[in-house]
Chains A and B, each alone.
Chain A
Amino acid sequence: MVAILKRETKAYYTGMIGYVTAAVSLFFLGLYYTSSNLIVASSDFAMVLYATTVILLFLLPAISMRSFAEERRNKTDQLLLTSPVSIPAIVLGKFLAEFIAFAAPTSVAVIMPLILKAFGSVSLVSAYSSLLCYLLLGAACLAIGTWISALTENQIIAYLATFGVLIVAYLMNSIQTLFTSGDALALVVFLVVLLIASILVGVVCKSLTSCCAVFCVGGIALGVLFVLRPTWLLSAFDSVLSALALFDPFNGVVGGMFSISAIVYYLSVIALFLFLTGQALERRRWN
């Protein structure tokens, strides 16, 4: 794992990606720090981080897109997968290198609250807890990007798909408000999800009957639920949507509500997607 971590980190800085992402993230950090802290003499450093989350949407896919897609295209994954290194170690090494490429420029942000502190009272706890959460948010985005990169051998597709997923997660709050009323709509959406799931099942099992069976059983269950407890569907739908709002816990921390659940949420997202990455690599050996 250490060998892969070292090589990957070095690769970010032998190519352009490491420097470009560092330059862009430092530029925006500096810009917002100057405009919202220094010029207006505000002590709220968390707002700077909050303002730069939009930049993450563009930057992080650029870091994660190459991780597995490039290996696969150049067939260098053959070296990794035939070496006495386990798949979790490969995934972890790559992911940590991505995290370093993202976190290294952000480390400048560590001194920013201290500079403010020299001129007045600043809540360092709130500043550093949001910085921690910011790093975790970035790591979660990178884990998603790594997984998508493991699914394709085209870096551009990996970039665009990751960007698409992140932007949906970013906008999930406003998407959620579209669905506050209307139990029927929730039912329709669940039915569509069920249809997609049953088609997938049918494709995987290569049988039309299993596809239809899954759809019928699920459809009946949803219908019964809709007739007996319509609000359940809506609230279930709502909580699914809020679980997909990746940026929400961070926004809460920025608002001054540091919670362990935010940390746990990000750590679980990271763990889930790194696990899926390992599964994607494993699956490729079978097909």
Chain B
Amino acid sequence: MIEVNHLTKRYGKHTAVDDISFTVEDGCIYGLLGPNGAGKSTTMNIITGYLSATEGTVKIEGHDIAEDPAQAKACIGYLPEQPPLYQDMTVTEYLLFVAELKGVRKKAERRTAVEKVCAKAGLQGMEARLIRNLSKGYRQRVGIAAALLGSPKVIILDEPTVGLDPAQMIEIRSLIHDLGKSHTVILSSHILSEVQTVCDRVLIIANGKLVAQGTPEELAEKLAAKGSISATAQGSREAVLAAAKAIPGLTDLRVTAEKGGEVSFTAVSEAGTDLRGALSLALAKAGCPVLSLSAESMSLEDVFLQLTEKGEGEEEK
């Protein structure tokens, strides 16, 4: 379990992480989601003890990272944004070194541990290769294998799929999914679909602040209180829009397409109301036949955009 309490990191006047608190329960995959520069890497670097926090505490399995760093770090396997690999070592040499660094005392134990993580990370056949000669995908795997050594309870992966091709991305994601069965995993990403498919719980960070957390469904639900309607009707643009505007509670009208006397548009309705009926009646009255009409709940993507944009807006004020 990881407890993060009121974590703040300032660089001079710039605040990279602003009063973030959350708790990571055992046995789940957590996704740290946010646009570039939101403070994801800084947060992870503080949790793993690479950076120190300006304020706030991080406790890993009850060990404070600032006061009891050796114990706390022993509970964590960390893959930074750029895997920290020594180019002039072979995969096996590197992993044996990391195993020793993490306190696996006996040589035979180190050997078996390295064989195990190689199998887990899909590195078979690559053991004798120099790291400098590996492709980006395999380097990422070596980094993940290194994070797994010393059997840590928590695995922290910083943007594990960045720079990989789509096939490699899928492979790494399924690897993370497998890891989730035996470890607590925290991963960061700015790719929403990745977090949505892989993670059990999502923490959304924008401008150094934690703006929302919950399961992907919860988050979608929380903000889907506002319904959105998309419709297509026949008639002139003005007539269609005038009819839709007349309905109370329907806001944020946007024309998405206009072609051959057909107008498609989207609109947002107030919480808990279904305005499809009213809209269809109003359009019929105005002499604009409705061709299609559907209500949509907001996807996590919309939630994400709305939250992070709001954060940026606040910053400008």
Contact = CB atoms under 8 A, between A and B. Distances in A.
A4 B102 CA distance: 11
B100 interface: yes
A3 B100 contact: yes
B49 A82 contact: yes
Interface stretch (A71-79, A197-205, A229-237): A71-79
Given A14-B88, A86-B70, A287-B11, A79 B52 contact: no
Contacts of A75: 80, 82, 84
Contacts of A15: 88
A84 B73 contact: yes
Interface residues of A, number: 24
A285 B49 CA distance: 9
A77 B84 contact: yes
Given A11-B88, A15-B88, A74-B84, A82 B78 contact: yes
Contacts of B80: 75, 78, 82
Point out which of B76, B80, B84, B85 has the most chain A C-beta atoms below 10 A from its C-beta. Answer: B84
Interface in A70-98: 74-86
B178 to A, nearest CB: 23
B196 to A, nearest CB: 28
A84 B102 contact: yes
A285 B73 contact: no
A15 B87 CA distance: 11
B181 to A, nearest CB: 24
Given A4-B101, A84-B71, A84-B73, A76 B86 contact: yes
Nearest to A93: B101
Interface residues of B, number: 29
Contact of B73 (A7, A82, A286): A82
Contact of B102 (A74, A83, A285): A83
A83 B70 CA distance: 8
A3 B73 contact: no
A84 B49 CA distance: 10
Contacts of B78: 78, 82
A75 B139 CA distance: 14
Given A82-B49, A82-B78, A2 B100 contact: yes
A287 B102 CA distance: 26
A74 B101 contact: no
A82 B97 contact: no
B88 A81 contact: no
B101 A76 contact: no
Nearest to B48: A82
Contacts of B86: 7, 11, 74, 76
A166 to B, nearest CB: 27
B22 interface: no
A79 B87 contact: no
B74 interface: yes
A4 B86 CA distance: 12
Contact of A78 (B50, B52, B76): B50
Interface in B77-116: 78, 80, 82, 84-89, 97-98, 100-103
A11 B50 CA distance: 24
Contacts of B102: 83-84
Interface string B41-68: 0000100111110000000000000000
A285 B101 contact: no
A82 B48 CA distance: 6
Contacts of A78: 45, 50, 78, 80, 84
B52 A286 contact: yes
B52 A80 contact: no
A74 B74 contact: no
Contacts of B51: 285-286
Interface in A7-59: 7, 11, 14-15
Given A4-B101, A15-B88, A77-B84, A82 B52 contact: no
Given A82-B73, A84-B70, A74 B87 contact: yes
Contacts of A76: 84-86
Interface string A231-260: 000000000000000000000000000000
Given A3-B100, A79-B146, A84-B73, A285 B52 contact: yes
Interface string A172-194: 00000000000000000000000
A17 to B, nearest CB: 12
Nearest to B99: A3
Contact of B101 (A83, A286, A287): A83
A80 B146 CA distance: 12
A83 B88 contact: no
Contacts of A82: 48-50, 73, 76, 78, 80
Nearest to A79: B84
Nearest to A81: B50
23 contacts: A3-B97, A6-B97, A7-B97, A11-B88, A14-B89, A15-B88, A74-B86, A76-B84, A78-B45, A78-B80, A78-B84, A79-B101, A79-B146, A82-B50, A82-B73, A83-B98, A83-B102, A84-B69, A84-B71, A85-B70, A86-B70, A285-B50, A286-B52
Q: What are the 10 tightest A-B residue pairs by CB atom distance, in nearest-first order? A: A3-B100, A79-B84, A84-B74, A76-B84, A84-B73, A82-B48, A84-B70, A83-B101, A78-B84, A285-B52
Given A81-B49, A84-B70, 7 more contacts: A3-B100, A3-B101, A4-B101, A74-B84, A76-B86, A84-B102, A86-B69
Interface of A: 2-4, 6-7, 11, 14-15, 74-86, 285-287
